[in-house]
Amino acid sequence: MILAKVEGSVVATKKHGKITGNKLLLVRPFTADSPEAGALRAGGSTLVAVDQIGAGEGEMVLVAQGSSARLGMSDKDSPVDAVVVGIVDTVDIGKKLVYRASA
């Protein structure tokens, strides 16, 4: 899974029928360089993920990618490569809290 932050949404009026009705989110993956880093670092690129749980802009999310992403869809034959499967509450690195969702 990928830890990512929702940066916005994507609207596609014409798309494959199996993803019609699904919300598309623009997400930016985050990394932790090492346990000693003590912080998350934003990646340089973004990706589009299908939202299956109602995530919103600014939230940190878990994204499944590749063939596992299709398993997160109601139709397992959907042409998707990334699906939001969770909204993150907290992230700890080396026993240090580096992210907490705002209440």
Q: CA-to-CA distance for 67 and 77, rounded, in angstroms? A: 10
Q: CA-to-CA distance for 62 and 79, rounded, in angstroms? A: 19
- For residue range 38-93, list pLDDT tens digits in order: 788 898 899 999 998 999 999 999 999 887 776 665 666 677 789 999 999 999 88
Name the phi and psi angles at 71, rounded to 5.
-65, -20
Give the pLDDT score at 3: 96
User: What CATH number is given to the structural domain containing 38?
Assistant: 2.40.50.220
Number of domains in the chain: 1
Sign of the four-CA dihedral 29, 96, 91, 35: positive
Range of the domain at 31: 2-12+21-100
